[in-house]
Amino acid sequence: MEFLEALLLMSSLHLSDVNKDIIRKYFLYLSFRESIMTTTSVSKGCFVFKPSAKKKKLSLTAADYFIESLKNSEDGRMRFESCQLLWQQMKSQTEQLQEELNTKLFDNLIGFLKKSHSDFLNKKNDWNCRVRSSEIPTAALLLGVNVTDHEVTFNSLSDNLNEHVTPYVVLLQAKECPGIKQLLQKLLSQLIGCVADLDEDEEDGHTPISQRKMNCSMASLSGWYQNITNKSSSPKKKRRASSEGLQTPPIVVVFKDLESFTSSVLQEFIFISSRYCKELPLVLVFGIATSPMIIHRLLSHSVSSLLCIELFPSLSCTEHLATVVDKLLLSNQFPFKLSGRVLQVLITIFLFHDFSVQNFIKGLQLSVMEHFNSQPLSVLCCDLQDVKNRVKSLSHDQCENIRHVASFMSFVESQTPEAQVKLLTDDIYLKKMTKTCLTDLHAYHENYTPVLRCLHHFTCILPKYPLGKQIRELYCACLEKNIWETEDYKSALNLLRMLAKDELVATLHKCLEVLKPYSERPLDSALIKLEEFLAHFQSLEADTLENVDYEESSTQTGLQKKTDLYQLQKTLLEMKETRRTKKLSRFESLRLEVVDFLDGLVRNYLTRPEEQPLYEVVYFSAASILRKHVNAVPRIALNTALNNPSTYLKSLENDGTLSSAAPDICIAYKLHLECGRLINLYDWLEAFATVVNADDDSDSDSPKQVDEMTHARFIRAVSELELLGFVKPTKQKTDHVARLTWGGC
C-alpha cells in the first residue's frame, strides 16, 4: 500500500533529478521491507531462493573422522569402538586411582575444617578469647610443582567439601584477583551462585540475594551469611543435606596458586577477614607448589600471626606416577601395551619437563588412539574371549596384513616347509595359528608381570640400585633388551650372592605374596620352589658363626706358635689357600641356589616382546610420532614456516627464493636474516617494498616512494616478528632494532 502511494506521488509531481534519486532509494527500501515481512529472515529477503532436493550434510562424528583417516576402512568401525571402550576403562581406572590417592589428604582436611567449625561455635558467645578468636583457621596444601595436576585436585576437593562439610566453597586464582576489589567480587559472586542452587523462593516480598545489587565488602558478606543462616534455620526452609545438617556451615576460600597472588592483596584480605571472625566461620586453604616458607615471604609477621596454619602434604607426583604405571601398564586387565622407547619418551617428558601425571595420561591416551588408527591389526587388540570371534571374521585382506607383519614372518621362517606353505596360502590354517599366537602372547604377559615384580623386590634393596630404584626403570630396561645381557644385571647378581640372611628371607616372603595369585599357572612350580627355600632357611642353624669362631681361634693359635718372619709368611699362605678351598656353608649354598633360581626365572619369562609372534597387535612402538605430538619444538616449527612457507601453504612453490606471493612476515624474516646484530628499519623497509612490488611494471630504475599500504604491511610484519621474539627495539639507535636469534655478522 505504501509502495503504491509513493508511486502515485512521484508520477503526479515534477521533481528534480536529485529528489527523484532519493525517492527511488526510498522505493527500494519499501520493497526490501515488504520482502522481509513476507519471509522469516533477512537472508531470505536478500537472496534468491533456490529449491534443492538434497538434504543438509550432517556433521561428522568422531567415528567418521577416525574412519576417514584410515587407508582401509573395512574394520574401521570396530577399531574405533575398541579404542573407545579400552580408553574408557583406562580412564575410569585413573580416576579411581586419583580418588584413592587423595582420600587420606581429603579426610585430614575435612577433619580440620570440622574441628575449626566446632571451635567457632564454642567461641561464638565467649567474648574473653578475643586474641584467639581473631585467628583464621588456615590449611596449607603442599601439592608439589606439578601445577597442571592441581586443577583436578582442587575440583575433587571442592566436590568432597560440598558433599561432607559445606556448600560454600570459593575457588580463587591470582589472574582473576589483581586487586582486593576483584577478589571480593569473585568471592561474593561464587557464594551467590551457591545460594542459587539452594531451595529458596521469594517470600514476604523480599528479592533473593542473587538478584540484589550488593556492595562488595566483608560487611556485605557478613550480612549475606546471617541472612542465609537465619533462613536455613527457619522451620519453613529446608536446605539441601550437603553439609551434614550443619545450620551454620563454614565458608571455605581456596587460593589455588598462592605464589601468584600479590602480597598486598593477600595481606589486606586477611587483615579485613580477621575483623569478622566472630561473625563469619571463615576457613582459608592455600594451594602451595613450592614450600611453606612462601607464606612468610608473602605475608608480614603482623598478618601471618592472624592465621592458625596447619600443613597438609600431598602424595608426591613420582609416587603417583609409579601407581599409574603399576595399575595401567603392568596390569593384565588391559590388552594394550607400550614399547620400551615409547614408555621412555613419556617418562622423560614427565621427569624433565612438567612432573605432570595428567600429561602422562594424555600421552597414554594419544598412544592408544594412534595405535588403533595406524595399526590394521589393532582390531585384534581386545580381551582373549573376544579374540577368537574376531579371528574367525578376518577377511582375506586382513589375513594378508598378518602375513606381512615382521614378527609373524620370523615365526613363519622358524616353521617346517609344509607349515610355511600352509601359513602363506591357507587362510583357515592362518587363522588357527593366529589364535594360538595371540593366546601364547596373553600367557606371556600373565607370566611376565609377576616375575618382573619378583626381580624388582630383589634389586631394589641393593646398594646404588644397579637396575633402578623404581619398577618403571626396570620395566623399561626389560622392554628394550634382554636384561640378562646387560652389565648392570650381572653386577646385581654378584651383589645378591652377598646378601644377608634377613634381607634374603624378607625378599623371598615378598616374592611368595606376588606369586600366590598364580598358583594354578606355569608359575606354580616357582611358587613351590620358593616355599621350599623358606622352609630350608627356617631350619637353618647358625653354622656360619661356628665356622668363623673356629677359624679365628685356629688363626690365633697358629700366630702365637712362631714369631719369626718366615713362619709368619708360611702361616698366612696356608690361611689363604684354606680360604680358597673352603667348603661353603649351608646358608651360602642356599643363597647361591636362590640367586640361580631367580636368574632362571628371568631368562625364561622376561624375554623381549619383539620375540613374540604378532606382538604388534598390542604394542605401540611409534615413539617418533608420540614425541612429535607430545614434546613439541615450537622454535623449529616457526623456523620452518618462516623459511619455507610452502611446507604449510600448499599453494606456494618451494623455489627457495623471495617471492611477493609469500606472506609478509616470511618476507621480512628472510630479509632480517641478511642483516647483522642491528637492523636499520628504513633499509629493511625499502628491501621489503622492493620484494613486495617486484611484480609491478616499472619503466625507470629510480626507487619509488613506499606507499602507505606497503608501509602498514611492513609495520605489521615487524610487530609479529617482535611478538615471536626475533627482534626487539634498542636504545643504541632509535631507527634500529636488535636481532635476537642466531647471532649476527
Question: pLDDT (tens digit, 9 = 90+) per residue, 253-307?
Answer: 999 999 999 999 999 999 999 888 888 889 999 999 999 999 999 999 999 999 9
**Between the ranges 50-54, 64-68, 526-530, where is the mean pLDDT highest?**
526-530
Question: pLDDT (tens digit, 9 = 90+) per residue, 222-232?
Answer: 888 888 887 76
In this predicted structure, the answer to whether residue 547 has a pLDDT above a threshold of 80 is no
* 651 or 78, which is more confident: 78
Question: pLDDT (tens digit, 9 = 90+) per residue, 555-606?
Answer: 555 445 545 677 777 777 777 666 666 677 888 889 999 999 999 999 999 9
Residue 375 in contact with residue 615, Cβ under 8 Å? no
In this predicted structure, the answer to whether residue 31 has a pLDDT above a threshold of 70 is no
Structure confidence at residue 423 as a pLDDT band (50, 70, 90): very high
pLDDT score at 208? 44
574: its cell numbers = 696356608
CA distances from 294 to 288, 289, 305, 329, 355 (A): 8, 9, 15, 37, 21
Question: pLDDT (tens digit, 9 = 90+) per residue, 380-422?
Answer: 999 988 998 999 999 998 999 999 999 999 999 999 999 999 9
pLDDT score at 452? 96
Half-sphere exposure of 445 (CA within 13 A, CB side): 22
Residue 163 in contact with residue 242, Cβ under 8 Å? yes
Question: pLDDT (tens digit, 9 = 90+) per residue, 130-158?
Answer: 445 568 999 999 999 888 899 999 999 99
pLDDT score at 41? 42
Mean pLDDT in residue range 62-74: 73
pLDDT score at 637? 84
* 693 or 520, which is more confident: 693
In this predicted structure, the answer to whether residue 72 has a pLDDT above a threshold of 70 is no
Structure confidence at residue 440 as a pLDDT band (50, 70, 90): very high
pLDDT score at 321? 93
pLDDT score at 157? 92
* 33 or 99, which is more confident: 99
Question: pLDDT (tens digit, 9 = 90+) per residue, 180-196?
Answer: 999 999 998 888 865 54
Mean pLDDT of the chain: 81
Burial 531-540 (b: 16+ CB within 10 A, else e): eebeeebeee
Structure confidence at residue 40 as a pLDDT band (50, 70, 90): very low
Structure confidence at residue 327 as a pLDDT band (50, 70, 90): very high
Q: What is the pTM of this model?
A: 0.77
pLDDT score at 699? 52
* 138 or 208, which is more confident: 138
Range of lowest pLDDT (99-113, 201-215, 470-484, 491-505): 201-215
CATH (residue range 101-195+215-315): 3.40.50.300
In this predicted structure, the answer to whether residue 81 has a pLDDT above a threshold of 80 is yes
Quote the percentage of the chain above a pLDDT of 90: 50
Question: pLDDT (tens digit, 9 = 90+) per residue, 234-258?
Answer: 554 444 434 444 567 889 999 999 9
pLDDT score at 713? 93
Residue 252 in contact with residue 168, Cβ under 8 Å? yes
Question: pLDDT (tens digit, 9 = 90+) per residue, 458-510?
Answer: 999 999 999 999 999 999 999 999 999 999 999 999 999 999 989 999 999 99
Question: pLDDT (tens digit, 9 = 90+) per residue, 596-650?
Answer: 999 999 999 999 999 999 999 999 999 999 988 888 788 888 888 898 888 888 7
Q: Phi-psi region for residue 511, left (φ > 0), alpha (ψ -120 to 50) or beta?
A: alpha
* Cα angle value 68/73/79 (rounded, 5°): 95
Distance in angstroms (rounded) separating the CA atoms of residues 249 and 302 = 28
State how beta strands 307-313 and 136-142 pair.
parallel
- The structural domains of the chain, with segments of one domain joined by +, span 2-41, 101-195+215-315, 332-540+595-620, 634-739
* Cα angle value 172/173/175 (rounded, 5°): 140
634: its cell numbers = 615450537
Q: Phi-psi region for residue 462, left (φ > 0), alpha (ψ -120 to 50) or beta?
A: beta
pLDDT score at 203? 43
In this predicted structure, the answer to whether residue 29 has a pLDDT above a threshold of 70 is no
Torsion, Cα 279 189 270 132, to 10 degrees, reads 20
Residue 448 in contact with residue 482, Cβ under 8 Å? no
List residues bridging with 172 in a β-sheet: 255
Residue 282's SS3 state is strand
pLDDT score at 581? 61
Mean pLDDT in residue range 658-662: 82
List residues bridging with 312 in a β-sheet: 141
Task: Assess if CATH 1.20.140 describes domain 634-739.
Answer: no
Structure confidence at residue 659 as a pLDDT band (50, 70, 90): confident
Question: pLDDT (tens digit, 9 = 90+) per residue, 694-714?
Answer: 876 555 555 567 889 999 999
